[in-house]
Structure 1
Amino acid sequence: MNLASMPRSLDEAVEALSATPGALAIAGGTDLMVEINAGLLLPRAVVALADVPELAGWTVREGHLLLGANLTFAQLSHPDLAVLAPALAQAARAVGSPQVRNVGTLGGNIGTAAPTSDLLPALTALGAVVTCRGPRGWREVPLGELLAGRRRPALLPGELVVSVRVPLTRGPQEFIKVGRRNALAPTVASFALVIDLDHRYIGCAAGAVAPAPVRLTEAEQWLATAIDWVVGRVADPGVYDRFGELVARQLDPVDDYRAPAAYRRHVIAVCAARALRRALPTR
């Protein structure tokens, strides 16, 4: 690596990324610098995004929450945002240490697409759409399509994540993470649940069980029939464990040094049942 640039606008950032094939965009660097220092990544150039104003901040527009790519985990867990996207805030609070949460960013988390990411399952359950900008212009891509099971997202050459759009919902949201200890632990399994009572929408996703978050559509469809949407409750306490079983049945978890597949399947079933129990009591 022998080139570095610090663009002051989105146009400059795209130009810098496009100017050198193999250039790497970096924001907080909490993941990428580890890989660079270990020799796992050898970028020909680095484009620092910290001073690009178009990537900062958040706003509410037309029933959606628009999140700038440079929002840190700490900012995502702020009470003003937590009331609008509780599952995302819960996931952001679960990330690493305070030092990491103060530096790591939303866009960087999508850009590295680590299988153990805490944000990505929550964003998947929320039905997030990612806005990208590159030399060919703008495009919007559903998060699931951008990840597509890869270790790196399907960004085009010279393209970077600008913002993320998630719908505002009225209803409970939950995120549960399991690791070897309560803090500073890589995720063994995670589960996110989003219920929108107004639109009768259910989104749920499992994390750290596959190369990318797994959207659990069959479990979502079944749960939609088990909810009393008028009062926002479930009729039968047996729904909780049944939901957990359906979630686990949809998964083919990875088996690695962090945990065996059987353990991950069991943990996800417990997390799903617990998340639903927290979200919706019995009537």
Structure 2
Amino acid sequence: MDFLRPTTLAEALEAKAATPEAVPIAGGTDVMVELNFDLRRPDALLDLGGVTELAEWDLDDDMVRLGAGVPYNRIITELGAKLPGLAMASRTVGSPQIRNRGTVGGNLGAASPAGDAHPPLLACAAEIEVASTRGTRRIPTSQFFVGPKKSVLEPDELIVATRIPVASGPQQFAKVGTRNAMVIAVCSFGLALNAGKRSVGTGIGSAGPTPLRAPEAEAFAETEIDGLWDTREPLPDSMMRRFGELVGEAANPIDDVRGTAAYRRHALSVLARRTLAWAWADYRTGSWST
């Protein structure tokens, strides 16, 4: 097995172009598990740990450009106020050691339907920035996943960053599992209220062949909430319950060892209803902005 270790992004892109079969590795929290259990034996590994450009984040017109190598722990400590939904999801990833190594870029690269970072990225309409020696392109998160552990990445491309809007309203994330962290989600849900655009974003994880949104639930919530953004009146229970039902209907789960399809749909309905209630309570009190 060849081990490629570039020190700059340009070198990394050149290495990937020359050896498209090389498997990128940063934190190694997914790749090393597969190697240790002999589930994967690539011809080459492309170590991105020394590429400092990938381990940085910056602000660009109310948009966070999150480098693919920024670990979850830094998202929690440095970006909790700007990206609250992603920070919530990051807190449920693995153990402290995993959060110090694992990255959103790696989560996206694995393209698992159960990836914890995916629902909040979908909910806030983030874009994935990928690059090769041919150039750079941005892909909406909703178009990035094409199947279980499959994405639209070309063989010579690397994920270099995720562009995420700074929160302009409350965000929430919740998941069901045997415990809160260090567990693959039975199902998960991300929610983002955009007070400026008066929109509602959703993201569903571990309940379909890919992470997905619930567009009918979003449209329903936006219609029902439309007259309440200014008055900040409580949301009717019937409205929140219907929102949950629509989220459950948007899922496309299977039966497996972690749960049945029926249970996942029910659990998502509950998660959606609860997260909407929590987010709206934060919006009414203004606590989300502090």
Superposition TM-score, scaled by structure 2 size = 0.93
Counterpart residue number, 1:245 = 245
> What are the Cα deviations for residues 203-222 of structure 1, in whole angstroms up to 9, with x where unaligned?
10110111221110000000
Once the two structures are TM-superposed, the CA of residue 149 in structure 1 deviates from its matched residue by 2.7
Task: Report the Cα distance in structure 2 between the residues aligned to 1:233 and 1:28, rounded to whole angstroms.
Answer: 45
Higher mean C-alpha displacement, 105-114 vs 273-282: 273-282
Flag structure 2 segments of 5+ consecutive residues without an equivalent. 285-290
Task: Report the Cα distance in structure 1 between the residues aligned to 2:175 and 2:195, rounded to whole angstroms.
Answer: 24
Once the two structures are TM-superposed, the CA of residue 234 in structure 1 deviates from its matched residue by 4.3
Residues 61 and 232 (structure 1), Cα distance of their counterparts in 2 relative to 1, 3 Å cut: farther
Matched, 1:270 2:260: no
Counterpart residue number, 1:153 = 151
Counterpart residue number, 1:59 = 58
Task: Report the Cα distance in structure 1 between the residues aligned to 2:125 and 2:99, rounded to whole angstroms.
Answer: 23
The percentage of aligned residue pairs carrying the same residue is 42
> What are the Cα deviations for residues 35-60 of structure 1, in whole angstroms up to 9, with x where unaligned?
12222222111110011121122111
SS at match of 2:251: coil
Once the two structures are TM-superposed, the CA of residue 143 in structure 1 deviates from its matched residue by 1.6
Flag structure 1 segments of 5+ consecutive residues without an equivalent. none
Task: Report the Cα distance in structure 2 between the residues aligned to 1:215 and 1:167, rounded to whole angstroms.
Answer: 17
Task: Report the Cα distance in structure 2 between the residues aligned to 1:124 and 1:266, rounded to whole angstroms.
Answer: 21
Count of residues paired in the alignment? 281
Once the two structures are TM-superposed, the CA of residue 151 in structure 1 deviates from its matched residue by 1.0
Higher mean C-alpha displacement, 142-151 vs 127-136: 142-151
SS at match of 1:29: coil
Contact 1:134–1:157 (Cα < 8 Å) also in 2: no
SS at match of 2:246: helix
Cα RMSD between the aligned structures?
Answer: 1.5
> What are the Cα deviations for residues 45-91 of structure 1, in whole angstroms up to 9, with x where unaligned?
1110011121122111112111010010111111x301011100000
Contact 1:81–1:89 (Cα < 8 Å) also in 2: yes
Contact 2:92–2:180 (Cα < 8 Å) also in 1: no
Higher mean C-alpha displacement, 172-181 vs 145-154: 145-154
Matching residue's letter, 1:12: E
Contact 2:209–2:252 (Cα < 8 Å) also in 1: no
Contact 2:128–2:140 (Cα < 8 Å) also in 1: yes
Task: Report the Cα distance in structure 2 between the residues aligned to 1:187 and 1:132, rounded to whole angstroms.
Answer: 27
Q: Which runs of 4+ in 1 moved over 6 A?
A: none
Superposition TM-score, scaled by structure 1 size = 0.95
Once the two structures are TM-superposed, the CA of residue 226 in structure 1 deviates from its matched residue by 1.2
Task: Report the Cα distance in structure 2 between the residues aligned to 1:235 and 1:182, rounded to whole angstroms.
Answer: 28
Once the two structures are TM-superposed, the CA of residue 116 in structure 1 deviates from its matched residue by 1.4
Task: Report the Cα distance in structure 1 between the residues aligned to 2:233 and 2:152, rounded to whole angstroms.
Answer: 39
